[in-house]
Amino acid sequence: MSAADVPGRPALRTASRGDFIVSRTNRKFGDRAFCVAAPRVWNRLPADLRQLRSTQTFRRLLKTFLFAASY
């Protein structure tokens, strides 16, 4: 669920960037759960990469981004 989808909340700057809400956990084990880890990883991607609509372009640029980040 993105920040813009929460009813009763005003639009935030993070909503315009396409960020997702990251659930809070009290334990280290909970931080590794998909529902916590996936939004955290998504929010760390560059905004131009997150706004792509083409799956093929997204995959190609994601691979390039991850390769550059590893070195």
Tens digits of residue pLDDT in 2-34 = 555 555 554 444 555 678 777 677 676 677 788
What pLDDT was estimated at residue 36?
A: 85
Question: What are residue 51's phi and psi, to 5 degrees?
Answer: -90, 0
**Cβ neighbours for 31, distance < 8 A, ≥ 6 positions apart:** 25, 37
Mean pLDDT score, 40-63: 94
CB-CB contact of 15 with 3 (8 Å): yes
CA distance 7 to 38: 22
Q: What is this structure's pTM? A: 0.62
